[in-house]
Amino acid sequence: MPEETIFSKIIRQEIPADIVYQDDLVTAFRDINAQAPTHILIIPNKHIPTANDIGEEDEPILGRIFTVAAKIAKEAGIAEDGYRLIMNCNTHGGQEVYHIHLHLLGGRPLGPMLSR
Ligand code: DGP
């Protein structure tokens, strides 16, 4: 298992972050470099480096990540208009932090999914 990242320190609240939700399986906090009015990262408390490392034993965690994303979107008032959920994987996916995270982006029309 590769080294833990800065996200493990955020989970343990050893460094500051704007945490909007935390339970036994997941933590959600505002992205430091917001790309939209609402930009929240939902991450597992367990260190899973990339989407390639998700195992069957992690299915409850992944389910929780998505139910928490939906709950946060509703609370943020963006559920009806809509939003985008993204998980980047490895270099071609543009992953910068090797602790899986689901980006929740919304609060404005986000346009086409990929820039051309
Ligand atoms: P990705 O490219 O998918 O690995 O996205 C990583 C995101 O993590 C990026 O949008 C910026 C965010 N990020 C990186 N370091 C920190 C941090 O220390 N605090 C917070 N809140 N967000 C961070």
Q: Domain containing 43 — which CATH number?
A: 3.30.428.10
C-alpha of residue 111 to centroid of ligand 1, in Å: 21
Q: What are the residue ranges in the chain where pLDDT is below 70?
A: 1-2, 116
Whether residue 24 has its Cβ less than 6 Å from ligand 1: no
- Count up the domains in the chain and report the number: 1
Q: Which domain holds residue 91?
A: 6-106
**101 within 8 A of 87, measured Cβ to Cβ:** yes
Tell me whether residue 11 is in a domain.
yes
C-beta pairs of 29-35 under 8 Å, 24+ apart in sequence: 31/103, 35/105
Tell me whether residue 111 is in a domain.
no
Ligand 1 pocket test: which of 97, 99, 103, 104 has the largest number of ligand atoms within 8 Å of its C-beta?
97
Q: Measured between alpha carbons, how far is 102 from 89 in angstroms, rounded to an integer?
A: 11
Give residue 114's pLDDT. 82
pTM, two decimal places = 0.97
Tell me whether residue 55 is in a domain.
yes
Dihedral sign of CA atoms 108, 38, 53, 5 in order:
positive
Tell me whether residue 48 is in a domain.
yes
